[in-house]
Structure 1
Amino acid sequence: MHYPALAPLKNAFTHLNRLGTWSADLPLRLFLAWEFFESGLEKWNGQNWFVDIQSAFPFPFNVLPADLSWQMSMWAELIAPLLLLLGLGTRFATFVLMGLTVVAISAVHWPEHWSTLSELAQGYTISDKGYGNYKLPLIYLIAAMPLLLNGSGRFSLDHLLFRRKA
């Protein structure tokens, strides 16, 4: 069936599809780049507090010196976001930031003690009230998934440098 009254809507969706092909990933790249870069700058300008929580890191990070972990985390949070911003090495940068986030959830954001799923669910929050606070890093992981799976899209240096010749 053909519905002439829906033609303007179909036309609008066609334009949105074209725009999305070029830039659907861009808001995720900008959001994640800002959030992680900001965290990297906090480390750059702050004191190394990893010394206090080094034993909470998962293997192999718990056996690395705290200073090395701090430097690795800081530089990952400064360089990978710049790569995201440019859309250069997007999948690699995303993978690095996702790994960093999993370590952060394990060491800092996961509740120390929980015995029921109800208690674990209380950690799904932005503020820590004794049950962890893994909501925000989980949002980062979920926001990063499309970039890991699909790459940076057409509006990126990855596309410009590595597009296939027709």
Structure 2
Amino acid sequence: MIRSLLQQSQKLKLAISNFDFLSPLLFRLILAPTMIIAGFNKLNLGNTDVSLFSRLLADESVVSWFGNTEWGLGLPFPDLLAFLAGWTEFLGGWLLLLGLLTRLVSIPLIFTMLVAITSVHWHNGWFAIAPSSGDSSPARVLSWFNIESAQQSLENSIEVSQRLSKINEIIETHGFPGYLLEKGSVAILNNGIEFAAIYLAMLLSLLFTGAGRFVSLDYWIFKRFN
């Protein structure tokens, strides 16, 4: 039986090998716009009221956020780090979209995600959006193994649900529910590491596998010169 399963697995691997470019392509298409706009917003590229040189530098508000120890990240050399982060994300995003130098550009983007995880999101826990139901929260699976933080997350979901109910009551009574809820229900931002960790996993995959065949410049360049 085990031998049969292994044979079937090998046959499946051969059958789908022609489509192995889809995963890195999807990762690139997800990551590229996210990185491009993140870098764009850190830089002055859209500000036509400043000089060309100033537009190449990081936005002053971003620099202040990088360096401030009270309400910001409290990082050293905020001007330099904001500049590097902005251009790494902006240019790196375009290179990912094209599938050009994918492995090389993944390295500084991975470092950027690690900094974001440890300095911006870590103290907020895992979830980017606070789950309002313990029944559908992934923390429930971890709670089966008596992990204390998972149980705390489930308790937090109860409190989140109570607050959302109160918010919806206020909107129904005093607000404009038809307008306010037209585009979607209310959610509570937790700002945890979830999205940054997912982006990190995607970048690690691209680092190890490359941009994929057929739909990347890396593939055609290496094919030409190999």
TM normalised by structure 2 equals 0.53
Equivalent in the alignment of 2:216: 156
Deviation at 1:117, TM superposition (A): 5.9
Percentage identity across paired residues of the two chains: 31
Equivalent in the alignment of 1:94: 106
Check the 8 A contact 2:66/2:82 in 1, yes or no.
no
Equivalent in the alignment of 1:139: 198
Instruction: Pick one of 120, 123, 129 that aligns with 1:108.
Output: 120
Deviation at 1:26, TM superposition (A): 0.9
Structure 1, unmatched stretches of 5+, are: 1-9
Equivalent in the alignment of 1:7: none
Equivalent in the alignment of 2:39: 40
1:127 alignment partner AA: L
**Structure 1 residues 153 and 79, CA, compared in 2 at 3 Å: closer, same or farther?**
same
**Structure 1 residues 135 and 158, CA, compared in 2 at 3 Å: closer, same or farther?**
same
Instruction: Pick one of 123, 139, 149 that aligns with 1:118.
Output: 149
Deviation at 1:17, TM superposition (A): 3.8
Once the two structures are superposed, residues 29-61 of structure 1 have per-residue CA deviations (whole angstroms, 9 ceiling, x without a partner) of 11100111111122125543343443546xxxx
User: Number of matched residues?
Assistant: 141
The answer to whether structure 1 residue 28 and structure 2 residue 24 are counterparts is: no
- Distance (Å, rounded) in 2 between the aligned partners of 1:165 and 1:71: 34
- Distance (Å, rounded) in 1 between the aligned partners of 2:83 and 2:64: 12
TM normalised by structure 1 equals 0.70
Deviation at 1:24, TM superposition (A): 3.3
The answer to whether structure 1 residue 127 and structure 2 residue 186 are counterparts is: no
Once the two structures are superposed, residues 56-84 of structure 1 have per-residue CA deviations (whole angstroms, 9 ceiling, x without a partner) of 46xxxx43x21111111110111001111
Max radius of gyration: which structure?
Answer: 2
Structure 2, unmatched stretches of 5+, are: 1-10, 45-58, 126-146, 154-187
The alignment yields a C-alpha RMSD, in angstroms, of: 3.2
Aligned residue runs from structure 1 range 62-81, under 5 A: 62-63=75-76, 65-81=77-93
2:32 alignment partner AA: A
1:160 alignment partner AA: W
**Structure 1 residues 117 and 39, CA, compared in 2 at 3 Å: closer, same or farther?**
farther
- Distance (Å, rounded) in 2 between the aligned partners of 1:117 and 1:163: 52
- Distance (Å, rounded) in 2 between the aligned partners of 1:24 and 1:110: 28
Check the 8 A contact 1:53/1:107 in 2, yes or no.
no
- Distance (Å, rounded) in 2 between the aligned partners of 1:53 and 1:86: 30
**Structure 1 residues 44 and 28, CA, compared in 2 at 3 Å: closer, same or farther?**
same
